[in-house]
Amino acid sequence: MGYEEIFPQNDLKGWHANAAKRFASPFVDNYHDRIDVDPIMLSNAAVHTGFTIRDFYEKPELGIHCVGYVAELFDLLPVTHWFFSLPWVRELGVTLEYKDTLPPVSTGPILDPEADLDKIEALEPIGKEELKKGSTIPLFYGLYDYVQQNLPHTLVPISYGFDLCGAGSELIGVENFIMWTFTEPDLANKLIDTYVETSINGADVLSDKYGMAMLIVGSILANNDIFADEQVEEFSAKKMRHYVDQCFRRGAGPQIFYHLCGNHETDYKVFKKNLVWSPFNVLHIGYKGQSEFPSELLKEEFQDVTTIMGSVDTKLMISPNPKKVYDRAKETLLAGRDAKKGYILGTSCETPPYTIPGNLLALTRAARDFGTYGTW
């Protein structure tokens, strides 16, 4: 029995038709219904539908059905997606381990920062043909071909650079990498650049087959809890610019989702200066210090160049207090809903796996009550 036999098809003429128009609203300047809600739904969708976190990551076709079904259940943004935070690293030699309660994680560094200097200096990106023989491209080919056949109304091929700095650091270990940004910056850049160029080649391969590939790229390790603004610019913002520029030149895009996870209290300014802005991009910043990044500031700084996505703290999503989630969503919406290029209501990062259903409902209810177009 295929997974398509487990889940009823989305209501294409009702819910999906309306949600698709709503999703397109910021990009076509024709606002429909209400502000969209995107709580970055991943493995939580599997939990909601009776499966496990391990099921979600080990069975991508199942995961994509879970996301699509839960999107309709809670009236969320109607794009099905499935991914994990370390694409392309297996092709560079890193081993990933699947967990019962986590996304796939690295089993540890593959290079010693002292004994393997020659190997590090000799690192080369993985080329397109070699990537096709690896694990990531076949994984996404299988997934997107499945979606094309069974869920064609939701198909958005996506290529994930994701955390360019963080993924590059996995080759020698995060702690060693952070030290190298101070003591051996050229070698630190070498690690990131190897991963970045490999990721660009991956986007190229996907866009060759599907005619486009939405880009998702972010800065997670490089944030103000660890680095000063100047280091964030060198090891993350400039790398993201190069990644997007080169992906565009090879046919990927034009959609971009920029995800700045963690604390970007002051470094948001270097991203504003460095990132590529297209008519079809969304910017999301998780935190400013210990609090959600304010939608007022997000709007003030970025509304002229991008659609923005505001944040409700993910910690609230696992707290049994839907009223508190609703009130916080209301504050966030009132602060950002009139952004020039559109606004999306989100959470500070991925919805935690055991998010309470009533809290998701609180987000969409707040979006209906305070984000309906034409009411402000």
Residue 279 lies in a domain: yes
Average pLDDT over residues 2-28: 89
DSSP SS3 for 350: coil
Lowest mean pLDDT among 22-31, 121-130, 339-348: 22-31
Residue 75 lies in a domain: no
Q: How high is the pLDDT of residue 1?
A: 56
Average pLDDT over residues 342-346: 98
Q: Is the pLDDT of residue 84 over 90?
A: no
Q: How high is the pLDDT of residue 213?
A: 85
Residue 113 lies in a domain: yes
The pLDDT tens digits for 160-219 are 899 999 999 999 999 999 999 999 999 999 999 999 999 999 999 999 999 888 999 999
Residue 93 lies in a domain: no
Residue 264 lies in a domain: yes
Q: How high is the pLDDT of residue 181?
A: 98
Q: Is the pLDDT of residue 228 over 80?
A: yes
Mean pLDDT over each residue of the chain, to the nearest integer:
95
More confident residue, 111 or 81: 111
DSSP SS3 for 46: helix
The pLDDT tens digits for 130-141 are 999 999 999 999
Q: How high is the pLDDT of residue 130?
A: 98
Q: Is the pLDDT of residue 151 over 70?
A: yes
From the list 214, 264, 215, the residue with the least C-alpha distance to 237 is 264
Q: Is the pLDDT of residue 36 over 70?
A: yes
Q: How high is the pLDDT of residue 102?
A: 85
Average pLDDT over residues 232-240: 98
* Amino acid at position 285, single letter: I
Residue 11 lies in a domain: no
Q: Is the pLDDT of residue 227 over 60?
A: yes
- CATH number where 290 lies: 3.20.20.210
Instruction: Give the count of domains, the chain.
Output: 1
DSSP SS3 for 11: coil
Alpha carbon distances (Å) from 367 to 20, 74, 328: 16, 12, 11
Residue 46 lies in a domain: no
Q: How high is the pLDDT of residue 8?
A: 87
From the list 225, 348, 196, 219, the residue with the least C-alpha distance to 272 is 219
Residues spanned by the domain of 225: 107-370
Q: How high is the pLDDT of residue 152?
A: 87
Average pLDDT over residues 343-372: 97
Average pLDDT over residues 302-307: 98
Q: What are phi and psi of 38, to 5 degrees?
A: -135, 95
Residue 120 lies in a domain: yes
